[in-house]
Amino acid sequence: MKSIILDVDTGIDDTMAIAYAAHSPELQLLGLTTLFGNVSVEESTRNSLYVLEMLGREEVEVYAGAGKPFARDNVLGYAKHVHGEDGLGGALQDAIPKRTAGSMTAAQFMINQVRSKPGEVTIIAVGPMTNLALAIQADPEFVTLVDQVVIMGGSVTVKGNVSPYAEANIRSDPEAAKYVFQSGLPITLVGLDVTMKTLLPRTRLQEWRNKDTKLSQFVADAADFYMNAYETWNPGIGGCALHDPLAVGMVIDPSFCRTEAMHVEVDVGEGSPSLGRTYAVEQTDSTKSPNINVCLEVDAERFLEHFMNRTV
């Protein structure tokens, strides 16, 4: 069993990733850490607590983290047009979770866990890289004590989703991503190269509706909203991308994707239209050794069935 911390900006696909992880016997959920991204950190924390409540997993602690980027004073923007005003496509219905988050910061929780179980903790980061950057900054040995970090973010072969160049998680905090990529952490990058190929077709929603549980209706309602947003920007797509769940999938079964070791950098040029772009540097440059295992191909059908069989 793998011990994992799920770092989330919950979010609709984050919700699916939490449910997928919570229902996976291969994973022990040490805790959820939250931050800004799709919504504010207060909202992503509330949503994470609520999702765990819906899952009947109230023993899993939640720790709130960054409310703004690593090296910027202000958030560059949320993604409420994609995830809804509440971040859950309206499925929250003004519910208030019974619990509140723990008093430690997300970065401190990560550090404590990694220090108490050296070489055993996997971090799955599916929001901006800010909490990871703060953990490394506070404890430089962190990078040698983590088992692995699986990041949903960026792309090296396809265009971005928040600009022609950039993917949302990286664009939300480019300086944090750059810092994390250069840190020496053992990283697997699950980017748009593969997540835009792992679509949840709208036709599959009925399977969740048929289960007719509170959880299945909640996740289906949220997914419905997400699919409508996808359809608005990608007419004819017929579903939504399973970005964050694929990062969880890669920890359960790394054979879902073919990876390649690459040297990946992040564009942080202020005012540049390509802010937040991730790109692979040619391996002819011997000063730039590979720093990331990048997912380049995915067995999308096999992943989708695995995800559908256990998420709700």
Active site residue 285: no
CA angle 14, 17, 18 (to 5 degrees): 90
Among 5, 7, 11, 113, binds ligand BDR (CB under 6 A): 11
Closest CA to 158 of 299, 259, 297, 290: 297
Peptide bond before 11: cis, by omega within 30 degrees of 0?
yes
Strands 2-8 and 278-281: what pairing?
unpaired
CB of 225 to ligand BDR, least distance (A): 13
Q: Which residue lies nearer to Ca ion by CB, 200 or 263?
A: 200
Q: Which stretch binds ligand BDR (CB under 6 A): 53-61, 69-77, 102-110, 160-168?
A: 160-168
Residue 111 binding target from Ca ion, ligand BDR, none, CB below 5 to 8 Å by type: none
Active site residue 9: yes
**Of residues 244-273, which lie at the interface with ligand BDR (CB under 6 A)?**
244
CB atoms within 10 A of CB 208: 22
CB of 199 to ligand BDR, least distance (A): 13
Pure H helices in the chain: 12-22, 41-54, 80-83, 106-116, 130-138, 142-145, 168-172, 174-181, 192-195, 205-211, 214-233, 243-252, 300-310
User: CA-CA distance, 72 to 76, in Å (whole number)?
Assistant: 9
CB atoms within 10 A of CB 283: 12
Q: Which residue lies nearer to ligand BDR by CB, 57 or 80?
A: 80
Given 3-state DSSP classes, what are the helix, strand and coil percentages for the chain, each rounded to the nearest 5? 40, 20, 40
Among 5, 6, 7, 11, binds Ca ion (CB under 5 A): 11
**Of residues 60-99, which lie at the interface with ligand BDR (CB under 6 A)?**
79, 82
Q: Is 40 in the site for ligand BDR (CB under 6 A)?
A: no
Q: Which residue lies nearer to ligand BDR by CB, 144 or 157?
A: 157
When CB distances to ligand BDR are compared, the closest residue is 168
Candidate list 14, 173, 221, 243, residue with the active-site label:
243
Q: Is 150 in the site for ligand BDR (CB under 6 A)?
A: no
Phi and psi of 159, rounded to 5°? -75, 170
Residue ranges that bind ligand BDR, judged by CB under 6 A? 11, 13-14, 38, 79, 82, 126, 152, 161, 167-169, 243-244
Catalytic center residues = 9, 243
